[in-house]
Amino acid sequence: MLIPHANLCPFFVPTPSSLSYEDCKATADWLLTQTDMRPTVGIVCGSGLGGLADLLKDQVAFNYKDIPNFPQSTGHRPLSDPEGKLITLPMRIFKLLGVQTVVITNAAGGLNQDFKVGDIMIIKDHINLPGFAGNNPLVGPNDERFGVRFPCMSDAYDRDLQQLAMEVGQELGYGDFLKEGVYCVLGGPSFETIAECRMLHLLGVDAVGMSTVHEVIVARHCGMRVFALSLITNLAVTDYDSEEKANHEEVLQAGKQRAEQMERLVSSVALPERS
């Protein structure tokens, strides 16, 4: 199953009703009545990377508005938008559909000095910076039917899938632009200041973005394997003399230029029967 993802809403505070087991089960059960397909891989597409959907054969597509309890739209939300509470709901629906592996892609700004625009970074770990201030999607009552109260995150990103992606990437001839690193999420929607980029660099962050981490936390909470890639669409500005300015058009453009390779890598790692 494949969906586009929403940005992190920094003031996201889940309420029991927004994430109840019963809501998710009703949604999953409805989807299962609509198709004989039983997905084992769930894919969340990042900015400019929606072309992954075209790789799927025998597609069954649903309008979000027709799916019970499903967020009506995703994408860029103002901080106060209450629908932002629902960004991780699809992970729990994936789980109840039988999905075992979640693949997430995103666009990100490169902080590692060795990174170039167009590099693909296999995410090996993350920093949930908003989480330091209590912004964690698991805040609130815990439903043990999804997972434990205090889930481990030291194994958030599946190491076997990371290694497989490195090997497959080398075989595909992607060695020059395939990297690995730590992704840090910020709330957005504004891009970072120069001082913020410098701070993130000092913290050991390789790429910065506005998504993915909350989905990863919820996916791991309910026991799915996670594989995630960042496309480096721009280089974060750390120099006050620089004329560079991050902008969304540049992000989308870089996404288009590397879309084919991203799609091939994802399909080779997660959907080997399709590649």
Judge contact between 80 and 213, C-beta under 8 A. Answer: no
User: Which two three-digit tokens encode residue 240?
Assistant: 């006050």
Minimum CB distance to ligand LQZ7MJT6 smaller for 96 or for 231: 231
User: Taking the complex as a whole, how short is the minimal distance between the CB of residue 135 and ligand HPA, in angstroms?
Assistant: 16
Q: Residue 46: which of ligand LQZ7MJT6, ligand HPA, none does it interact with, CB under 5 to 8 A by kind? A: ligand LQZ7MJT6
Q: Does 251 bind ligand LQZ7MJT6 (CB under 6 A)?
A: yes
**Which range, of 154-162, 208-216, 218-226, 267-275, touches ligand LQZ7MJT6 by CB under 6 A?**
208-216
Return the number of the residue (96 or 135) whose C-beta is nearest ligand LQZ7MJT6.
Answer: 135
Token couple for 256: 């288009």
> Which residue's CB comes closest to ligand LQZ7MJT6?
46
**What tokens were used for 173?**
């001839």
3-class secondary structure, 222: coil
CB-wise, 208 or 271, nearer to ligand HPA? 208
Cα–Cα distance between 103 and 45 in angstroms, integer?
8
**Closest separation between CB of residue 234 and ligand HPA, Å?**
5
Instruction: Find the shortest distance in angstroms from Cβ 200 to ligand HPA.
Output: 9
SS3 state of residue 78: coil
Footprint of ligand HPA on this chain (CB under 6 A)?
107-109, 191-192, 208-210, 233-234, 236, 246, 251
Q: For residue 156, report the phi and psi dihedrals to the nearest 5 degrees.
A: -60, -40
Residue 109 interacting partner from ligand HPA, ligand LQZ7MJT6, none (CB closer than 5 to 8 Å by kind) = ligand HPA
**Residue 243, by phi and psi: left (phi above 0), alpha (psi -120 to 50) or beta?**
alpha
Listed residue (39, 40, 44, 38) closest to 218, CA to CA: 44
Residue 16: how many CB atoms within 10 A of its CB?
11
Q: Does 128 bind ligand LQZ7MJT6 (CB under 6 A)?
A: no
